[in-house]
Structure 1
Amino acid sequence: MKNTFLIVLSLMILMSCNTTKHTMQTKDFDRNTMPQPGPAPKVKLGKPQTFTLDNGLKVLVVENHKLPRVRVSLTLDNTPVYEGDKAGVSSLLSGLFGTGTQSMSKDDFNEKIDYLGARVWFGSQSAGMRSLSKFFPEVFGLMADGVLNPKFTQEEFDKERDKAIENVKSGEKSVGQVSNRVERFLAYGSKHPYGEFTTIEHLKRLNLSDVINFYNTYYKPNNAYLVVTGDVTLEEVKTLVNKYFKAWSAKDLPDYTLPKTSNVAQTQINFIDMPEASQTQVDFVSTAHLTMGDPDYPAVLVANHIYGGDFNSHLNMNLREAHGFTYGARSSFRANKYVSMLQAGAKVRNQVVDSVVVEMVKELNRMYTEPVTEEELKTVKASYSGNFVMNVEKPETVARYALNIEKNNLPADFYETFLERINAVTAEDVMRVINKYYNKDNTRIIITSKGSEVIPGLEKLGYPIYYFDKYGNPASKPKLPEAVSSDVTPEMVIDKYLTAIGGKDKLNAVRTMSYTYETKMQGMKVQINFKMETPNKLYQETVVMGQVYGKMVFNGNTGYMEQMGAKKDLPQDQVESLKKRQSLFEELTLLKSGKTLKVEAIVPVKGSETYKLAIDDDGKVSYKYFDTKSGLLVKEEKSEKGPDGKEMLVPTEYSDYKAVDGVLMPFKVSSQAMGQTMEMMMKDLKINPSLPKSIFQ
């Protein structure tokens, strides 16, 4: 103990001495004046060793012997390919690579890679590998075999096409995916490789011969770069490259002149209607002919960083921090040697879309007219400097930079002088490039949302609005909500619904129910089993791939939930909500529930007119939509807390009504969870089955 005390005392004395010395040395400094930034760090990048085969394949080797590992990337720097009627063929090629070679089956190929602890990957214009250096020759040979001697079979083609079709289907209800698709289509044009997209119809028309033809036409060494990084020598790489790639034959590639892109004549709103969207994607989009080699490139990087490229950017501080409109707002600048895109956007609540547009325009105008501060410039430059210096320590970064210099025809010292050029950017430079490239008067404001909710607000902003469908085709203006006649009351709407599904007497006679919903999540089969007894007893069990994942039980007064063996009581607010239920069919008692009901409007839902019934439960509002003709409930929106703790409306759709024992029930339910749409199909519905009392205990 005494020794410990002496050690601590000695350390305290030493710290005191150092503090005193530091104070004496700095007492004459003015702490109110920010120190001047030092010069940009001197960056000295290692130069890759290069050689070129007769077939045009250029090889770059970056030796680094610190760790016994090697990484290889093959890049085909062809002019972007317009696939036209064959759209989707390149993605199918990517999926078919690695499914075996002419000399090795798919299983043998993958087992060999796994045995060597390596990784090999392929794309329609690329390939690569990663392994320990002692296995490098063998893994490199496997990668080369996969590239030069792939085996494409009908069986694997069918699997990949089916998978691609499912991916397209799953994206049809995603606001983000639809927005991105139409955004590129409008910005680049339908005949530009960057603007085209793949549909289910495209995929269904493709066959195996299309994939083989695409491979034979475009997978050539003419414009190819092979980058090898890690614990290798130049001579070793030369030997292996000549062994495997020397016979790879070059071939003239088809000519295709890329269409010229242009921005709109005046800023306009391009609206894509998604009637079931609970959130909105807002993007400001324009294109520019600005490459990495352009003298303005560093200034545009700095400008974008301040405008929306960082958490502390103008856009994010406004839309997220000041107004709470979104979880995050960002801008991006995608430099490209053919055509670059400038984009700013955010995913926001439907209720604030018009306000978001106003604030985004305000921030862009601010960048146009107000110089950025010296503090903002210093912060951005420090960020670039820190990230850049850390990254150049990695050999793969050196290799990537070398490849960029080759592909973009950049000066040999482009990256060595990068920080100098970033640090030379002034506030005047930022304002100049914003005015030159950000096109505030020629921007597409692309909004993907629920038209019936957001169009009235957008029309007040004064911008021309053009409407498009989910595939970029011109469309008519979505039908907006209509005023409802005063003789349409909540009582009338609810009575019509109850009559449509069987009538009050029949529904009141239902004392118990059991049914199962089936769906798929991440490729796994999920079953949700329900058992209910009037007025509010509930047993709910979730089964994933045949195994019970969790359950929830409520006996009318108390309840619990159990997940993966862990059991806990239901939250009190959920208990109180369940207690309020007085029937297996909520609408039977809704008029006497004490909630405030109002038929707000006639609203289109999936092409049909519906009565929108607002249900106010002590300030918490939800909505039900009843078809005006059939009376059936086709949709509801419940108010639930989102990840940020704020209330948000979560939609659920009902369709495919079928009668079971005289009661009409929806056999298809679509709901949204975690940004994904989940479709559930009802199975095994039983009316008034005998249920053991024990299941509710």
Structure 2
Amino acid sequence: MKHIIIVILSLAITSLSFAQIDRSKAPVPGPAPEINIADPIVFDLDNGMKVILSTNNKIPKVSFNLVMGSDPRLEGEKAGLSDLMGDLLLSGTKNREKDQLDQEKDFIGASLFASSNSMYLSVLTKHMDKGLDLMTDVMKNANFPKAEFDRIKKQYESDLYAVKTDPNSMMSNAMYKTLFTEEHPYGEVMTEETLNNITREDVVDLYKKQYTPAGSYLVIVGDINEAEAKKVAEERFGDWEGGVPFEKEYNHGIQPKNNRVIFVEKPGAVQSVINIAFPIPMTPGDEDQIKLSVLNKLLGGGGFGTRLMQNLREDKAYTYGAYTQLNVRRQGSFMSASGNFRNEVTDSAIVQFLYEFQRITEAVPTEEELSLNKASMAGSFARRLESPRTIANFALNIHRNNLPKDYYQTYLKKLSNTSETDILEMAQKYITPNNLNIIVVGNKDVLEKLKQFDGDGEIEILDAFGNPSKEKSYLPADISKTEVLEKYLMAITGTSNMKKANKKLCKIKTIEKKAIIVPDQSPMELKMTTLYKAPNNSVTKMEFNGMVLQEEIINEDRGMSKTMSQQGGFETTHMTDDELKAELKTSAAFTEMALIKNIEDVELLGMEEIEDQTYYVLQYTFGKTTTTGYYNKTTGLKDRGTTLRVTDEGPQSISTKYSDYSKYNGYLLPNTTTQIVEAASMTSTLKEVKFNGKIDDKVFEIEESN
């Protein structure tokens, strides 16, 4: 078969070589093809559910997509409640614990997903009944176990910690808050405070209100006929009861009076994330939507031929990519343009964004660029038609959004008929180049250059969660920085004064720690071994399945790190004298022992209230690394810390939480350490600790550099 395909391709290439083609002209698109989309079968249940069926017998599988009919709710002081509820839906039911639910699902090879407003099941036709047992059990009987609620909530805490260092999350929060405000569900952003306000009872209450048959849609796709679908719908979903769906109208986006500049600081950033966004007065199925989507594609909606890519990447070389997005929703629509740019060209990039927004409102596009972009959109639409699920979703959109029955049948014709004049009209109708939200996430060094773009000359500064940024203020500390460190050392040694603490600390000659690290985004387990030998020798080694992935060695004279290369072998880096000097300033059995010796480099910022706890906040900078430690006023222990490390690739932010302190040979150590590096998080669990065991000096030897 493969040989046949190759022969056919060879013949096609040969025949093309004899054709006379004028490659100086773009190919002329043919007339829009007729689309014959079979009408799905639609029927209603007595409980208010609408069922949409699209039969396809090519594969022995069937899927059930259940979509709730309620509008989104304002959550206020409990922002994030709906997300939490959605993530907890598959945590167990009155009839099945989570493990049993997972085992039964995996046994039949089913896919089962749930969110706050939908549930989806895909299963082999022969296992349909077993799959529906699971789906309807969750739909009617989810019970949100307390243990799972606590686990997911803790996971959310780590995710929120990561937001503070992830520029894309910061940008998203700022954009939605700016476009829709907190008076709209789209503008609500979960924070540590709102998460803490959410109880299990809140989750259960929302589930009961949200998951109700009235106004809901059940989309069935696959190997099932009309009679079977009606029987399944009636038997499995017909007896489902619930209240009326929630309905509410919100603002559809706030248009600024002038260009408005919003800034979110990411300390040390070498790139700025730029997003220029504005609301669009449009709902799904609007008569202008297809024409505006063509404008979006032409301006920056994907591919290298768009205006933004040609300008900002190909011509100016400011970025690897610049894109636009048209987001049309029932409760509020918007258009945005975005990209990542070096600090030094941040203002220049904004100039070009504004230039392209202005240019598209002043003249019609060329016939060639319009034709190429329409052809790309037509091809994408045609590929989507290959999926039966797409056809069913078309029917769902028609019913939910009150679209004309032939909306999708006439899509390609409307696309083909979109003219150069239509694009100009759409631009002049929806794009106002002097009423844009210009949002920048980056280093404060670019702040002064941004003032020229604000209509009022006053830049709004937001925090990572889209709220007005407040200058961090600390309460006055009631002890000195030395006393903070001493209090910690007394706590971890279990002593009542520094004389006893020092005596116990001086007994430490070696420490060997073994831990397991599990990245939250991956099921893999990493093994980390840490060796210390007084006064300044240390080794940190990371392994996976017996392979060394990374190793760092420091002794009194030299420092080295090596990392496994993707090409095989290791990439080895030797520390400079300055880098080694900085590392040795924190080298000790416990970092705080070294900080006391270098107390002049440590600053006590004051006290801070975090999650009902009071912390002494210490900060120090050695080399290119700034570390901030949070020491619990009550226990004296270090509960959290942040590190900002400047590298050649840019700043690296690390947030750390220490918990579950336990005694090892009379010394307290955190059993669990959670680290968030940019947007990735991992949890380290101590498995073994040895004090004053024998460690061969050879492990601290460093090979000569070339």
Which interval holds the TM-score relative to the shorter structure? 0.7 to 0.9
User: Equivalences for 1:612-631 in 2 at 5 Å?
Assistant: none
Q: Quick one: structure 1 residues 477 and 304, their matched pair in 2 at CA, closer, same or farther if it must change by over 3 Å?
A: farther
Give the alignment partner of residue 46 of structure 1, picking from 38, 60, 78: 38
Which structure 2 residue ranges, 5 or more long, are not aligned? 474-508, 587-604, 609-616, 629-641, 659-671, 702-706
TM-superposed deviation, 1:167: 2.0
CA deviation profile, 1:327-373 (whole Å, cap 9, x unmatched): 32211001112320111111333333222211211221222223222
Q: Quick one: structure 1 residues 351 and 612, their matched pair in 2 at CA, closer, same or farther if it must change by over 3 Å?
A: farther
User: Equivalences for 1:640-679 in 2 at 5 Å?
Assistant: 640=648, 642=649, 648-650=650-652, 676=680
Q: Quick one: structure 1 residues 233 and 651, their matched pair in 2 at CA, closer, same or farther if it must change by over 3 Å?
A: closer
Give the alignment partner of residue 107 of structure 1, picking from 93, 99, 110: 99
Mapped partners of 1:143, 1:256: distance in 2: 28
Q: Is the 8 A contact 2:275 2:336 kept in 1?
A: yes
Partner of 2:349: 356
Say if 2:337 is the partner of 1:333: no
TM-superposed deviation, 1:212: 1.7
TM-superposed deviation, 1:513: 9.3
Q: Quick one: structure 1 residues 292 and 32, their matched pair in 2 at CA, closer, same or farther if it must change by over 3 Å?
A: same
TM-superposed deviation, 1:143: 0.8
Partner of 2:520: 522
Mapped partners of 2:131, 2:688: distance in 1: 52
TM-superposed deviation, 1:39: 0.2
TM-superposed deviation, 1:625: 6.8
Partner of 1:64: 56
CA deviation profile, 1:494-537 (whole Å, cap 9, x unmatched): xxxxxxxxxxxxxxxxxx998979876427676463668999x9
Say if 2:470 is the partner of 1:466: no
Q: Quick one: structure 1 residues 245 and 336, their matched pair in 2 at CA, closer, same or farther if it must change by over 3 Å?
A: same
User: Equivalences for 1:152-171 in 2 at 5 Å?
Assistant: 152-171=144-163
Partner of 2:203: 211
Which residue identity is paired with 1:474?
P
TM-superposed deviation, 1:544: 6.5
CA deviation profile, 1:119-170 (whole Å, cap 9, x unmatched): 2222211111011111112212321121012223222222222222222222
Mapped partners of 1:548, 1:137: distance in 2: 48
Mapped partners of 1:545, 1:261: distance in 2: 52
Q: Is the 8 A contact 2:541 2:550 kept in 1?
A: yes
Q: Is the 8 A contact 2:57 2:223 kept in 1?
A: yes
Normalising by structure 2, report the TM-score. Answer: 0.74
Give the alignment partner of residue 286 of structure 2, picking from 290, 294, 303: 294
User: Equivalences for 1:275-424 in 2 at 5 Å?
Assistant: 275-312=267-304, 313-424=306-417
Question: Equivalent pairs: percent with the same residue?
Answer: 25
Which residue identity is paired with 2:438?
I
Q: Which moved more, 1:302-311 or 1:549-558?
A: 549-558
Partner of 1:695: 699
Mapped partners of 1:189, 1:33: distance in 2: 48
Q: Is the 8 A contact 1:669 1:680 kept in 2?
A: yes
Which residue identity is paired with 2:155?
K
Q: Quick one: structure 1 residues 612 and 425, their matched pair in 2 at CA, closer, same or farther if it must change by over 3 Å?
A: farther
Mapped partners of 1:546, 1:568: distance in 2: 15
Q: Is the 8 A contact 1:273 1:450 kept in 2?
A: yes
Give the alignment partner of residue 184 of structure 1, picking from 176, 188, 194: 176
Mapped partners of 1:338, 1:267: distance in 2: 24
Partner of 1:568: 569
Q: Is the 8 A contact 2:274 2:341 kept in 1?
A: yes
CA deviation profile, 1:290-339 (whole Å, cap 9, x unmatched): 12322211111111111111132222233333333333221100111232
Mapped partners of 1:196, 1:582: distance in 2: 46
Q: Secondary structure at the match of 2:418?
A: coil
CA deviation profile, 1:451-477 (whole Å, cap 9, x unmatched): 2x1112223446432222334333478
Q: Quick one: structure 1 residues 22 and 539, their matched pair in 2 at CA, closer, same or farther if it must change by over 3 Å?
A: closer
Say if 2:69 is the partner of 1:77: yes
Q: Secondary structure at the match of 1:410?
A: coil
Mapped partners of 1:394, 1:230: distance in 2: 10
The alignment covers a number of residue pairs equal to 606
Q: Secondary structure at the match of 1:77?
A: coil
Q: Secondary structure at the match of 1:369?
A: coil
Q: Is the 8 A contact 1:311 1:317 kept in 2?
A: no
Which residue identity is paired with 2:467?
N
Mapped partners of 1:272, 1:253: distance in 2: 37
Mapped partners of 2:12, 2:248: distance in 1: 73
Which residue identity is paired with 2:530?
N
Partner of 2:429: 436
Partner of 2:551: 551
Q: Which moved more, 1:541-550 or 1:213-222?
A: 541-550
Give the alignment partner of residue 447 of structure 1, picking from 402, 417, 440: 440
What RMSD over aligned residues (CA atoms) do the two structures have, in Å? Answer: 4.6
Partner of 1:136: 128
TM-superposed deviation, 1:672: 8.4
Mapped partners of 2:464, 2:49: distance in 1: 41
Partner of 2:260: 268
Q: Secondary structure at the match of 1:242?
A: helix
Which residue identity is paired with 1:426?
S
Partner of 2:500: none
Mapped partners of 2:113, 2:12: distance in 1: 58
TM-superposed deviation, 1:57: 0.4
Mapped partners of 1:207, 1:635: distance in 2: 32
Mapped partners of 1:688, 1:318: distance in 2: 63
Partner of 2:110: 118
Mapped partners of 1:351, 1:682: distance in 2: 44
TM-superposed deviation, 1:92: 2.3
Which residue identity is paired with 2:464?
K
TM-superposed deviation, 1:411: 0.9
Mapped partners of 1:670, 1:427: distance in 2: 55
Q: Quick one: structure 1 residues 557 and 372, their matched pair in 2 at CA, closer, same or farther if it must change by over 3 Å?
A: same
TM-superposed deviation, 1:244: 1.6
Which structure 1 residue ranges, 5 or more long, are not aligned? 1-6, 480-511, 589-603, 614-621, 628-633, 643-647, 657-667
Q: Quick one: structure 1 residues 676 and 279, their matched pair in 2 at CA, closer, same or farther if it must change by over 3 Å?
A: farther
Mapped partners of 1:655, 1:209: distance in 2: 28
Q: Is the 8 A contact 2:252 2:281 kept in 1?
A: no
Q: Which moved more, 1:83-92 or 1:57-66?
A: 83-92
TM-superposed deviation, 1:553: 6.0
Q: Secondary structure at the match of 2:276?
A: strand
Partner of 2:541: 541
Larger radius of gyration: 1
Q: Which moved more, 1:239-248 or 1:551-560?
A: 551-560
Which residue identity is paired with 1:70?
V
Mapped partners of 1:36, 1:214: distance in 2: 54
TM-superposed deviation, 1:112: 1.5
User: Equivalences for 1:213-292 in 2 at 5 Å?
Assistant: 213-254=205-246, 256-259=248-251, 261-292=253-284
Which residue identity is paired with 1:211?
V
Mapped partners of 1:15, 1:177: distance in 2: 51
Mapped partners of 2:83, 2:28: distance in 1: 51
